[in-house]
Amino acid sequence: MTSGLDRAVDAALLTDDGPVGRRARWRSVLRTLAVRPGFVAALLLVLFVVAAAFAPTLFASHDPYATAPVDRMMSPGTGGHLFGTDELGRDIWSRVVHGAALTIKATLIALGIAVVAGLTLGVLSGFFGGIVDALLMRFVDVMLAIPSLLLALAIVTALGFGTVPVAIAVGIGIVPGFARTTRAEVLRVKTLPYVEAARAGGASWPRVLVRHVLPNSWGPVAVLAVLDTGVAIIAIASLSFLGFGAAPPSAEWGTLISAGRGYLVSAPWVPLLPGLFVAAVVLSLNHISKTFQELER
């Protein structure tokens, strides 16, 4: 469970916590990071997106909705427009930065649904076993039999369009994976000696569940959550690309790329640069989760 990073921190913590100890701790963390420049770059990009979601004006000087017909279709890098401008003269970089808030919001809703529902299903199923387990797992099997994008389409048809319905649809689509992973972990942890010891010590089942089983089984779930963040961002962007997300003047990433499609011939940067940004964010998230998995081994 302990990652290499944690271990480095733990090792440093064991030493005297004076100024020297603190410096040693930082040095060992830095050393772990220094051999993984890709991980650092990925982490920086993800942190940038999160920061942009909360304070977009820090990173983008232009108003994402302000049209300037004179400056339309400027290529990237000219006139202070990093990603160029679109058909109405709006600064594309600003639109991408401001779009981060919508994407982060949608991703958090989707992951929240997936983690809460997945943990609940998985814990109930793994902990109680028997009929509860059989019923819940058959239900999960059925959900897995409907390709998740199609289930999402059905949900969006029922709920209507917009960022929140799309986020809900994507969240429900990734619940089965979380339920299965949690169940497997709970089944593993349930048989460990310390659970038996806690029971023998007189702890009630709910207490054992909350104090001993849950904290020890959510590690792989957390890794899955990081990995599925990338999956969720792709799914949300795809659904809004198909036209089910926030309506056009809004700067949601998928909507942005979809609206720019018409200018692929004359101004390829209008759809492609935002697309490249989304790809870079997903790639970073996948790399982070992969590094975590490698460190855990």
Partner 1 sequence: MKRYVLSRLAQAVGVLFAAFTVTFAVLYLLPSDPVALQLGAAGIETDKLTDTQLEAAKAQYGLDRPVAEQYLSTLGGFVSGDLGTSIAKQQPVAGLIGDRLGPTISLSLAAGALSLLVGTGLAYLASYVRWRPARLVLSRLPSLGASFPQFFIGLVAIQLFAFQLGWLPATGSRGPESLLLPAVTISVLTSSLLAQVLMRSFDETLSQPYVVTARAKGLSRAAVQWRHGFRNAILPAMTILGLLVGLTVTSAIVVETVFARNGVGKLAQESVLSQDVPVVLAIVTLAAAIFVLVNLVVDLLYPLLDPRIVQLPRKVAVR
The contact set with partner 1 (CB under 8 A) reads: 138, 141-143, 145-151, 153-160, 230, 234, 237-238, 241-244, 254, 257-258, 261, 264-265, 268, 271-272, 275-276, 278-279, 282-283, 286-287, 290
* Residue 160 structure tokens: 């209507």
**1 versus 264: smaller Cβ distance to partner 1:** 264
Least separation in angstroms between residue 117's CB and partner 1 is 14
Rounded to a whole number of angstroms, the distance between the first and last alpha carbons of the chain is 8
CA distance 226 to 132: 29
Least separation in angstroms between residue 234's CB and partner 1 is 5
**171 versus 208: smaller Cβ distance to partner 1:** 171
**8 versus 285: smaller Cβ distance to partner 1:** 285
Least separation in angstroms between residue 189's CB and partner 1 is 24
Least separation in angstroms between residue 282's CB and partner 1 is 5
**156 versus 186: smaller Cβ distance to partner 1:** 156
**177 versus 217: smaller Cβ distance to partner 1:** 177
All residues at 6 or more sequence positions from 161 whose CB lies less than 8 Å from its CB, including other chains: 243, 244, 245, 247
Least separation in angstroms between residue 3's CB and partner 1 is 19
